Structure 1
């Protein structure tokens, strides 16, 4: 079947977004150059400008698309299991898979270093999804009542990002499953405390002694 003009255009746009994620992650938004993005995408400068008027427009579209991907994945994870443990694991599996496949894009999406309002918006949107769960936990007694849900949710997002940011550079130290296990343990016990398993969910087993490097 012949490739249509629209399919070719969409494929080129996707290459530009992928190239932009790599260049922005490596050089920062200010340091990134349009010429480098075009070269990475293996397209002419004129082709890039037919899709995006400037690098800021490409960056905004990249962050917008990434936000949609992450939020939709987390929403689906919340619907994936009747237990909190199952939902937590589905969410962490999705985030770890995203970081594993889209390392530079993941860093770009959740980086607070550039201080871009759209990047802050992504972090806030992820945290805001967690806030109602923590508030529900306080009402039901499995979250400490002296914990502020908004602050705790942002602590969780920061912890997840920093662990995965480090793991992207050290992928041979742990398997993806081990990273998911540790994130689930920290999320359940670091925030929820001793009553974390009262819903009958099964916390994923921690790796055997010695399987995680110290």
Structure 2
């Protein structure tokens, strides 16, 4: 299980377009659904907070206590009205039970594909079904390869982004290694490496 214990506080430093350009998509569907939203795998609130700022009530579920702690800290910087629109629960996406229904349920940013064990996707979809109104909308995003993944997927370390944190001057550089692939089950095993260099040049590395 990847709980982001070492890197939750670094997650929001990623400012690439890929982590921004889907927000308007979810805004459009929030407007169409016209009711409370359930976001599964809400993480640090990349989608949660913009929706709450726009006036939507949203419930977030995530497995990682560290990601939720980061989200709660960010909410503390928001106006009271925004904070009141957000409910958060720590739970596995294959087991959560909230005892209410939602007209819009979303699993953004490929999180559904973290379910790599045989029965996990079915269990998650059962949970989704039990929380969705009869006319509700369910949106799940997924990475679709152009072909069956083979050994060519395995690649050496490459750089994703670099960010210098204001005030502290800390430099964060994230890279990735496409470590190995299970060909039979089409499951990939990447690693994300965060190189943290302080203003005096001392460096630490965290791996997820």
Shorter chain as denominator, the TM-score bin is under 0.3
| TM-score (ref. length: structure 1) | 0.27
Structure (1 or 2) with the greater strand fraction = 2
Structure number with greater Rg is: 1
Where relative contact order (Cα < 8 A, 6+ residues apart) is larger, the structure is 1
Structure (1 or 2) with the greater helix fraction = 1
